[in-house]
Amino acid sequence: MISVEEALEKILSYVDMLEPEDEPLLNSLGLVLADDVYSDIDIPPLDNSAMDGYAVQAESTKGACSSSPRTLRIIGEVAAGYIAKEEVTPGTAIRIMTGAPIPKGADAVVQFEDTDEEKRKAAKKPLTDIGILRQAAKGLNIRKAGEDISKGSLVLKAGTVLRPQEIGVLASLGKDVVHVIRRPVVAVLATGDELVDIKEPLPPGKIYNSNTYSLASQVERYGGIPKILGIAKDNIKALEDKIKQASDADLLITSAGVSVGEYDVVKDVLARLGEVTFWTVRMKPGKPLAFGVLRLGKKKIPHLGLPGNPVSSMIAFEQFARPAILKMLGRKSFTKPTIQATSEGRLENRDRRRVFARVMVSKRDGRYFASLAGAQGSGILTSMAQANGLMIVPEDKPAIEVGEEVQVQMLDWNEEM
Ligand code: AMP
Ligand code: MG
């Protein structure tokens, strides 16, 4: 038996960061920038107003206060998106909206609240003059050109993972296409004579193929593009035909047929098409695992053979396929967020494997508590549906007792927990 770490290290040694490609900006969430991004423009492009108010010369407001306003003549108005035609001179003002470029001659903006505009409007007089109620310093309420990003500067470094805020920054630079590491195509193949597609009626003795759907969704969640190969029957020809359809994928994930002895067909086919190693990994669930490299045409495709049990395949995916996908995406960090919690259940670990128990983590009085999410059998997929984390029982620990502190790998992370 090999450890979870050994298996992961081996798998990661066979996958590399993929090549970059151009992606439309809106498709690049979660992807990794392939190049440094510099700005061709100043942001904001021009000095502009941070407030709705009056663009003035600070000098014209000297000594202004509410008991002694300075009255200025209004010579125009400018909204965001327009350039004022008029020039502000001593004793004049231009009505200005937030975001509008500062008119020529002006060096400060007095916000509406510091003028008598409300009073004048209430008196229903035409707005030809404005009383300034407070002295303005030069630069007041002016956002300087380039204060966010200056032309020519390095804005985002290669290797940056694009979150909504980076997507926004790239949009503010006018980048509609970005150079990013492409998403891996991950072929997903279910194997087993007992499997029926979810569109079909369910004959006696058969079960619906659920692994394809949970695994494909995991692929998608972590940034890959699932390529569904459907179900392969337990015979050499069916399996070979399906596996060959993975030739344009970056990774092939199969489920089932890796438990000892009983599944020689998969073994034979995989061995014929490449090299394959069958491992028993010191973990529970998810002990049987196959890993190899398939030669399909000129391409070499890493293949991860997950166990068939629905819970095992999902947990093995989290531990091994997720890091492989993230590495191909150019990510540097593969670890799932892990927290410390107090166990509310007792769990035995009889055979010295690392147990990933399905738990529901909740927060009370600033502490995390983990309670077992129902029966822990590897076929009980609803335990995954009830769980938001995987409680880790170390290999050398015979049991976790109620009240003991444990590490929990979070499947989901939300603040409302
Ligand atoms: P195996 O790894 O072939 O021994 O399968 C282990 C268990 O997982 C068996 O009970 C299978 O019926 C079940 N199983 C295998 N593949 C799937 C699948 N695609 N969807 C749901 N259950 C499956
Ligand atoms: Mg089987």
pLDDT recorded at residue 415: 57
pLDDT recorded at residue 235: 85
For 155, phi then psi, to 5°, come to -100, -50
CA distances from 65 to 69, 141, 334 (A): 5, 18, 60
Scan for tokens 């969704």, then name that residue: 217
The per-residue pLDDT of the chain, averaged, comes to 95
pLDDT recorded at residue 230: 97
CB atoms within 10 A of CB 18: 18
pLDDT recorded at residue 259: 72
pLDDT recorded at residue 329: 98
3-class DSSP assignment, residue 382: helix
**DSSP code string of 285-306:** S--EEEEEEEEETTEEEEEEEE
From ligand 2's centre to the CA of 312, what distance in Å?
13
For ligand 1, atom 14, name the residue with the nearest CA. 308
For 72, phi then psi, to 5°, come to -120, 150
From ligand 1's centre to the CA of 210, what distance in Å?
9
Least confident of 89-98, 177-186, 249-258, 408-417: 408-417
3-class DSSP assignment, residue 375: coil
Pocket test for ligand 1, best of 193, 198, 207 (most atoms within 8 A of CB): 207
Greatest alpha-carbon pair distance for the chain in Å reads: 96
- pLDDT tens digit sequence for 39-95: 999 999 999 999 999 999 999 999 999 999 999 999 999 999 999 999 999 999 999
Q: Please, which residues have CB within 8 angstroms of residue 269's CB and are 6 or more apart in sequence?
A: 236, 239, 240, 243
Tokens at residue 31, please?
A: 């992807």
Residues with CB under 6 A from ligand 1: 190, 192, 194-195, 207, 209-212, 255-257, 259, 307-310, 379
Check residues 234 and 56 and name the one with the higher pLDDT. Answer: 56
Residue 364 has pLDDT above 80, yes or no: yes
Which ligand lies nearest to the CA atom of residue 208 in the structure? Answer: 1
In ligand 1, which atom is closest to the CA atom of 212? 19
Average of per-residue pLDDT across 216-234: 97
Q: Please, which residues have CB within 8 angstroms of residue 120's CB and are 6 or more apart in sequence?
A: 127, 129, 130, 131
Q: Residue 283 and residue 34: Cα distance in Å, rounded?
A: 36
DSSP 103: P
Q: What is the CA radius of gyration of the chain?
A: 32
> Which uninterrupted H or E stretch holds 320?
none
Q: Residue 170 and residue 38: Cα distance in Å, rounded?
A: 10
In ligand 1, which atom is closest to the CA atom of 288? 2
From ligand 2's centre to the CA of 308, what distance in Å?
7
**DSSP code string of 339-393:** EEEEE-S-EE-TTS-EEEEEEEEEEETTEEEEEE-S---TT-THHHHH-SEEEEE
Pocket test for ligand 1, best of 189, 191, 193, 195 (most atoms within 8 A of CB): 195
For 224, phi then psi, to 5°, come to -90, 170
Tokens at residue 197, please?
A: 């597609």
Average of per-residue pLDDT across 253-275: 77
> Which uninterrupted H or E stretch holds 310?
helix 310-316
3-class DSSP assignment, residue 118: helix
- Of 311, 270, 315, nearest to 294 by C-alpha is 270
From ligand 1's centre to the CA of 308, what distance in Å?
4
pLDDT recorded at residue 417: 53
Overall size of the chain counted in residues = 417
Which ligand lies nearest to the CA atom of residue 313 in the structure? Answer: 1
Task: Tell me which amino acid residue 392 is.
Answer: I
For ligand 1, atom 15, name the residue with the nearest CA. 308
Q: At what angle do helices 236-244 and 264-273 cross, to 10 degrees?
A: 40
Residue percentage of the chain with pLDDT more than 90:
88
pLDDT recorded at residue 119: 95
Average of per-residue pLDDT across 339-348: 97
- pLDDT tens digit sequence for 150-188: 999 999 999 999 999 999 999 999 999 999 999 999 999
Residue 270 has pLDDT above 90, yes or no: no
For ligand 1, atom 7, name the residue with the nearest CA. 309
Task: Tell me which amino acid residue 220 is.
Answer: E
pLDDT recorded at residue 109: 98
From ligand 2's centre to the CA of 263, what distance in Å?
7
Q: Residue 148 and residue 104: Cα distance in Å, rounded?
A: 22
- pLDDT tens digit sequence for 272-331: 888 888 788 999 998 889 899 999 888 999 999 999 999 999 999 999 999 999 999 999
pLDDT recorded at residue 269: 80
Residue 268 has pLDDT above 70, yes or no: yes
Using pLDDT thresholds of 50, 70 and 90, give the confidence band for residue 414.
low
Which ligand lies nearest to the CA atom of residue 228 in the structure? Answer: 1
CA distances from 62 to 77, 107, 135, 143, 373 (A): 22, 13, 5, 22, 70
Q: Residue 16 and residue 22: Cα distance in Å, rounded?
A: 19
- Of 256, 395, 385, nearest to 316 by C-alpha is 256
pLDDT recorded at residue 193: 93
